[in-house]
Amino acid sequence: MIDPSLGDGCLIQAAYSDGSVIRIGFDRNRGEGYVTAFNEAWGDIEQGQTHGILFDLDGQEYDAMATGLYLNDVPGADIYFDNPDFLFDIAAKYTMNIYNENGYVTAIDLGGTMIGLEAAIERQEEMG
C-alpha cells in the first residue's frame, strides 16, 4: 500500500482477530519508519497525547513513545523510529507483544512480515 499523506510512503497492513489493525511502513515526510496500531476498543486514546510503551519481540524488548491518533474515527497509536534495523528486527521475529503503562495491550503474529516488508522496500526504492 502507499499512503499519500505520508509522502507516498509504502506500508504493509494486517488485521487481527481482536480487531487490531497494524501498519508498518515508511513516512517519507519525516524520513522515519513507523508502526501504527488501531483498534475500535481503544476508545480512551487522545489525539496527540504521548505514552511510553514497550515492544517485546520474541523476548527482545524495545522502549518507544506512542502518539495517539484517529483514522476514520478509529483510535490508534503511532510509534516512529529512525533506526532502520528495527524494521528488520520486527520482520525477523514471530510475535510482537505491546505493553503500555497499564500493562498488556495486544499481541501481533508477525508471520509473513519479512515478505511484506521486502516488497514494501522494493516498491519504495522504485518510487525514488
Which domains are present in the chain?
Answer: 2-127 (2.60.40.1880)
State the pLDDT at residue 50. Answer: 96
Predicted TM-score of the model (pTM): 0.85
Element (H, E) at 37: strand 32-38
Q: What does the block give as the cell for 83?
A: 533506526
Compute the residue count for the chain: 128
Tell me: pLDDT of 128 over 80.
Answer: no
* Cβ-based neighbour number of residue 82 at 10 Å: 9
Contact, 66 vs 51, CB < 8 A? yes
Over residues 6-19, the mean pLDDT reads: 90
- What pLDDT does 123 receive? 84
